[in-house]
Amino acid sequence: MDIIIEGKITPEEGMSEVIQTVIDLKNLQNPILRISSADSDLQGRVSFSSGHILGGRINNSDETGYPAIRKLLSITDGNYAILDPGRQHITDVNQTLWIEAHKVVQMLPNLPQTPEVLMDINAEYNTEVKPRIANMDLKAGKVDDGEKPTVTDVKSKTRSFDQGTWFFFKLFLWALGTLIVSAVVLTYSDQIYALFKAKQNNPAVQVSTPTPNSNAHPGNPKSNPGHR
């Protein structure tokens, strides 16, 4: 994890100032505060998210949750470092407590025995939505929300790209067709020329059909051989 800020916990810069520094780092989504005491072997980490304290853990023991947070934030002489976990999913310091950090700043150094008064008052959001967000694996792929709307803006880059691609595709088809026709003409040029000359030398013969004799008439004796 990258170290963003580190320093000493002193009477001039106490734990309240350190926590306020973490709160003010708006560009960090899930900062981790690492704390160690100069007077003892007490050291551990406290996790933050969106101005809330999610949980904590003491390194040299299995103590976690609010009791660990309360002990770590009671240190008055020691060192601290604000860490950026990036996309790492830190579970050992995340108990999804959602303690409001600004309330902790106001109540230090006299933190209550239990965290209820420090926790977010929005219980439904606290217990259902936020834990899911806090426990979300940032390495997981994006979920498909369904079919996306078609781009209809004529000025959009996507639409301009599609139109340009279709223009070049039509141009390619036209050039390909021209090449095919040219190849056929060149290959069969002699046959085509011979056929054309044959049609010129042998025009179509007009076949005339005999027309009935205008002098023949049923009443004319010449038209009836059997009549004497």
Considering the domain architecture, whether residues 83 and 28 belong to the same structural domain is answered as: yes
The verdict on residue 200 lying in a domain is no
Chunked mean pLDDT (size 10), the chain, 228 residues: 93 94 93 96 95 94 95 97 89 92 96 94 54 46 39 38 61 88 84 77 56 51 47
**How far is Cα 55 from Cα 73, in angstroms, rounded to an integer?**
12
Prediction pTM value: 0.55
Considering the domain architecture, whether residues 109 and 15 belong to the same structural domain is answered as: yes
The verdict on residue 205 lying in a domain is no
**How far is Cα 191 from Cα 198, in angstroms, rounded to an integer?**
10
Considering the domain architecture, whether residues 112 and 15 belong to the same structural domain is answered as: yes
Considering the domain architecture, whether residues 101 and 52 belong to the same structural domain is answered as: yes
Considering the domain architecture, whether residues 119 and 162 belong to the same structural domain is answered as: no
Identify whether the C-beta of residue 68 lies closer than 8 Å to the C-beta of residue 44: yes
Return the amino acid letter for 14. Answer: G
Considering the domain architecture, whether residues 37 and 126 belong to the same structural domain is answered as: yes
Residue 26 belongs to domain spanning: 2-134
DSSP assignment of 6-31, as one string?
EEEE-SSS-HHHHHHHHHH-TT-SS-
- β-strand pairing of 43-49 with 99-100: unpaired
Considering the domain architecture, whether residues 88 and 180 belong to the same structural domain is answered as: no
Considering the domain architecture, whether residues 123 and 172 belong to the same structural domain is answered as: no
Identify whether the C-beta of residue 15 lies closer than 8 Å to the C-beta of residue 73: yes
Question: Which residue blocks in the chain are alpha helix, DSSP H?
Answer: 15-24, 65-72, 101-107, 123-124, 130-134, 157-187, 189-201
Q: Quick one: tokens of 169?
A: 């595709």
Handedness of CA 195, 197, 198, 199 (dihedral sign): positive
The verdict on residue 46 lying in a domain is yes
How many domains does one find in the chain? Answer: 2
| DSSP single-letter state for residue 40 | S
Q: Quick one: tokens of 113?
A: 């025995």
Instruction: Return the pLDDT at 198.
Output: 77
Prior bond of 212 cis (ω within 30°): no
Instruction: Return the pLDDT at 169.
Output: 74
Considering the domain architecture, whether residues 23 and 103 belong to the same structural domain is answered as: yes
Instruction: Return the pLDDT at 159.
Output: 37
> Which of 79, 94, 61, 92 has the alpha carbon at shortest distance from 15?
79
Sheet bearing 32-37, strands edge to edge: 2-9, 78-84, 32-37, 43-49, 52-58, 99-100
Helix (H, G, I), strand (E, B) or coil at 160: helix
